[in-house]
């Protein structure tokens, strides 16, 4: 009898890579109480037991400095300090303990221009609402298993905005570097994912770094 994939093992009982969510501390920042409840429920389902919440960007920044979370999940449109401003505050080098913290922006905005704007503010991953368990799971997997290097320029500090280095790219190169520039390798997310069911396809699309 095949092992039940819901127990976390694939065909033939092959042991897997498992994210120990109970070891991760999350900060959820959203001015909507229902959304905070939904994200909390999903994170609990994943196995997380340490989840802090804030209902606007200002208290989110306070919670970030006070609780030192491993991952921040933030909305965009919020009063006082919105998600972009919160991200920019967190990303200020030397301004706080961990400017490299993964920030997942969860937003009702879905237009490409908005995604680019979020990325340019220093967001690590962008997730458009309505939220789905699988999409959130993929984003968390991505930041845990495939952390990206950071880039600092005169006008930007944040995760490398390029997911792939494409040798065939022939467009504008904003980052000139030098001809001898070295590609800094970061361990890629394993593309060989054993799916618990056919409906769950993880990994390759979201996480190549």
Closest CA to 90 of 69, 117, 111: 69
State the nearest-atom distance from the C-beta of 170 to other proteins, in Å. 20
If one asks whether residue 105 binds other proteins (CB under 8 A), the answer comes out as no
Answer for which of 3, 92, 116, 134 binds other proteins (CB under 8 A) is: 134
Site for other proteins in 12-51 (CB under 8 A): 14-21, 23-24, 31-32, 34-35, 37-38, 41-47
Distance separating alpha carbons of residues 50 and 41, to the nearest angstrom: 12
Binding to other proteins by CB under 8 A, coded x per residue (else -) over 62-91, reads --------xx-----xxx------------
In order, the DSSP letters of 102-127 are -EEEEES---HHHHHHHHHHT-SEEE
Site for other proteins in 141-160 (CB under 8 A): 141, 143-145, 147, 149-154, 160
Answer for which of 1, 165, 172, 181 binds other proteins (CB under 8 A) is: 181
Distance separating alpha carbons of residues 160 and 6, to the nearest angstrom: 34
Task: Give the binding range for other proteins (CB under 8 A) out of 58-66, 83-91, 163-171, 175-183.
Answer: 175-183
The residue count for binding other proteins (CB under 8 A) is 78
Q: Which residues of 37-59 are buried (b: 16+ CB within 10 A; e: fewer)?
A: ebbbebbeebebeebbbbbbbbb
């Amino acid at each position: 009898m095949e092992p039940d994939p819901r127990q976390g093992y694939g065909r033939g009982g092959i042991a897997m890579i498992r994210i120990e969510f109970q070891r991760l501390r999350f900060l959820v920042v959203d001015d909507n109480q229902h959304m905070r409840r939904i994200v909390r429920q999903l994170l609990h389902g994943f196995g997380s037991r340490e989840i802090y919440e804030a209902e606007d960007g200002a208290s989110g920044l306070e919670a970030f400095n006070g609780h030192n979370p491993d991952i921040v999940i933030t909305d965009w449109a919020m009063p006082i300090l919105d998600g972009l401003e919160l991200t920019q505050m967190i990303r200020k080098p030397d301004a706080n303990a961990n400017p490299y913290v993964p920030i997942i922006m969860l937003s009702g905005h879905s237009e490409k221009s908005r995604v680019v704007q979020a990325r340019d503010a220093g967001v690590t991953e962008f997730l458009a609402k309505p939220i789905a368990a699988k999409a959130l799971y993929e984003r968390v997997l991505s930041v845990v298993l495939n952390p990206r290097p950071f880039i600092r320029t005169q006008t930007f500090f944040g995760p490398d905005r390029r997911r792939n280095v494409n040798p065939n790219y022939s467009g504008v190169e904003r980052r000139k570097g030098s001809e001898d520039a070295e590609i800094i390798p970061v361990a890629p997310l394993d593309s060989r994912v054993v799916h618990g069911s056919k409906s769950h396809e993880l990994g390759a699309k979201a996480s190549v770094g």
